[in-house]
Chains A and B, each alone.
Chain A
Amino acid sequence: MEGTITNFIYLICISLFIIGLKKLSSPDSARTGNLLAAAGMIGALIVTLITPLPDGDNNYPWIAGGILVGTIIGLVAAKKIKMTAMPEMVSIFNGLGGACAMLLSIVEFYNHPSGEPLLSGQIITTFFALFVGSISFTGSLVAYGKLDGFLRDSLVPPAPKVVNMLLLLIILTVSVYTMLQPELNFTYIMVVLILSLIYGVTFVTPIGGGDMPVVISLLNSFTGLGAALAGLIYGNQVMLVGGVLVGAAGTILTMLMCKAMNRSLLNVIVGGFTVSGGSTAESGDQVAKVATYADTAIMLKYAQKVMVVPGYGMAVAQAQHTVHDLEKILEAEGVSLKYAIHPVAGRMPGHMNVLLAEADVPYPKLLDLDEANREFPSTDVVLVIGANDVVNPAAKTDTASPIYGMPILDVEQAKNVIVLKRSMNPGYAGIQNQLFFGERTRMLFGDAKSSISKLIEEMNNV
């Protein structure tokens, strides 16, 4: 009787997840969608808490403690975090979910009654959950480190492909060997656990920081998979369906992002940006032209059409509000200003959209890749704010370049290009950008926020 009620409520919660995700994929209903999914989660949690179980001591104080501490940490972190650090935050949250799946499978092995056969579907599933959860945990932490900048791309283990294949092989062998034993040996489980944790690190480390959006999305689908596998172990539908939904969503997003960069997922994982093409050397003796604030201010003021191309540099400098101020000043002068958003600009899909939304930039001003490329030939001034690889013409011309084939924003078609950048250092992908040496390009060095503030100052003086 109680079982039926429990399962019925689970069904409602599952429906809420699905409706929630559906609504999350349309701008008007996204907020409702998120709240519905959250309601589904709370419902599922409450039902799981009160359903009578045949055995066990309930141990409610432990549960309450865990929920309380987790909620407080989660809510505070979500409130405190800066909008620019969102990718890092999502990455950490994701790793924690993976860690939970990992802990569950450890306990599952720990609880395994002696004498029970080890060669069973249950044990295989548990091994999978242990593996996937561990990768998701350490992989997300490495992704966080790369996004945050304390792990540099140059920190690559020797021969990553060989190491990864070897690790996978050992993990598989030890797992199979464990299952063929008459009794479960917990030491082997620990070996699999530790190797899986290491694999998570060696799997993500060689992948370039510029590819982190794809990796986070992929790891997100791993965590979903971990939850789904745990659902199989517990015979629990909410976990199964919730996990699979996330797995599918993560996979689709990963594919969308790979498509935007015109690379296959395999290429992202195996290829990496570890070695940049030989074409970088030849730009050594070229000199980029430097712009002055006064010139740029005048140029902007007397332009008719200005396009802003934001990138990760804008996020780092927290310049989105200042950019919006510049937009308002120019609009007041009768200049039309729009934003060209590359699908992989920043460190997360839609990263720029979120930042500009935070600064109150209206939707219709944000153009996607195709719209923007149609506009560039008639644009007077393009302001490239901290973007690099997404405006690199090498993607079209240089077959040796690692980003060759990626659709880019054709900013060089505009009459003038002003590039705001901290220094001449190449972007995250480590590739030199010919755009900077272009005929119509001027560089404006410095932190994006202070540069734009100075531009605004100059503009008021003109």
Chain B
Amino acid sequence: MDLFYQLIGDNLTMIYILVFIIFLGTEVISNVPTVLHTPLMSGANAISGVVIIGAVLLIRQASSDDYTILTLGFFGIMLAMINVAGGFAVTNRMLEMFKKKKK
């Protein structure tokens, strides 16, 4: 039980943010026309690559001879970056096609 209180207490601000963003996220996306489901999914997917920030922080905090962390971090950055760059690019490509025939 103490653990639970500690968990809440330590992260109170984060938990506030968490709850509000869940409401906000639900509200922002609730009225999407079917045409945009795929681009939205792919765009949201690109945003989930935000986990790259963690990988960058990880490598920056590591010492330069800790090759285990450096290697894992390198792969983390690379994989997340594929997700980010590829995700936004693919979404843009899809949306460009929608654009064309809107006179």
Judging by beta carbons under 8 Å apart, are B92 and A31 in contact? yes
Contact status of A78 and B85, CB under 8 A, knowing A244-B18, A252-B26: yes
For A99, the chain B residues whose CB sits under 8 A away are: 76, 79
Partner of B51, one of A62, A67, A101: A101
A48 within 8 A of B: yes
Instruction: A24 to B41: give the CA distance in the assembly, Å.
Output: 10
Could you tell me the distance between the alpha carbons of A93 and B7 in the complex, rounded to whole angstroms? 32
Does A461 reach chain B (CB closer than 8 Å)?
no
What is the count of residue pairs linking A and B with beta-carbon distances less than 8 angstroms?
A: 373
* Chain B neighbourhood of A195, CB < 8 A: none
Q: Decide: A90 and B90 in contact? CB cutoff 8 A.
A: yes
**Docked-complex contact B34 and A30, CB < 8 angstroms:** no
Task: Quote the shortest CB–CB distance from B94 to chain A (angstroms).
Answer: 6
In the bound complex, CA of A239 to CA of B76 (Å): 14
A93-B45, A223-B45, A246-B48 given as contacts; is B30 within 8 A of A252 (CB)?
yes
| Contact between B73 and A353, CB atoms less than 8 A apart | no
Chain B binder among A104-112, A286-294, A377-385, A424-432:
A104-112
Interface string of B84-103 (1 = CB under 8 A from A): 11111111111111111110
CB distance from B95 to the nearest CB of A (A): 4
The residue on B at minimum CB distance from A227 is B51
Chain B residues within an 8 Å CB radius of A22: 28
Contact indicator A59/B64 (Cβ below 8 Å): yes
Tell me if A74 and B36 are in contact (CB < 8 A).
Answer: no
Q: Could you tell me the dominant secondary structure of chain B's interface residues? A: helix
Q: Nearest-CB distance from A131 to chain B (Å)?
A: 15
Does A100 sit at the interface, judged by CB under 8 A?
yes
Per-residue 0/1 for A216-240: is the Cβ within 8 Å of any B Cβ (1 yes, 0 no)?
Answer: 1100100110111011111111111
Q: How many residues on B have C-beta within 8 angstroms of the other chain's C-beta atoms?
A: 84
A248: interface (CB < 8 Å): yes
Contacts of B36-86 to chain A: CB distance below 8 A: 36-64, 68-70, 72-86
Judged by a CB distance under 8 angstroms, whether A363 is at the interface is yes
Known contacts A77-B86, A107-B73, A226-B51, then 5 further A-B pairs from the complex at CB < 8 Å, ordered by chain A residue: A27-B33, A59-B73, A93-B90, A104-B54, A252-B29
Chain A interface residues (CB < 8 Å from chain B): 17-18, 20-22, 24-28, 30-31, 33-35, 37-38, 41, 44-45, 48-49, 53, 55-59, 62-63, 65-67, 69-71, 73-75, 77-79, 81, 83, 86-87, 89-90, 93-94, 96-97, 99-101, 103-104, 106-107, 110-111, 119-121, 124, 216-217, 220, 223-224, 226-228, 230-253, 256-257, 341, 343, 348-351, 353-354, 357-358, 360-363, 366, 368
Q: List 29 A-B contacts (CB under 8 A).
A: A18-B24, A25-B31, A33-B43, A34-B39, A48-B53, A48-B57, A53-B60, A59-B70, A62-B59, A66-B75, A66-B81, A70-B77, A70-B80, A74-B87, A78-B86, A81-B90, A86-B42, A94-B48, A100-B80, A104-B54, A232-B14, A236-B53, A239-B50, A240-B21, A243-B50, A244-B18, A248-B21, A250-B44, A360-B101
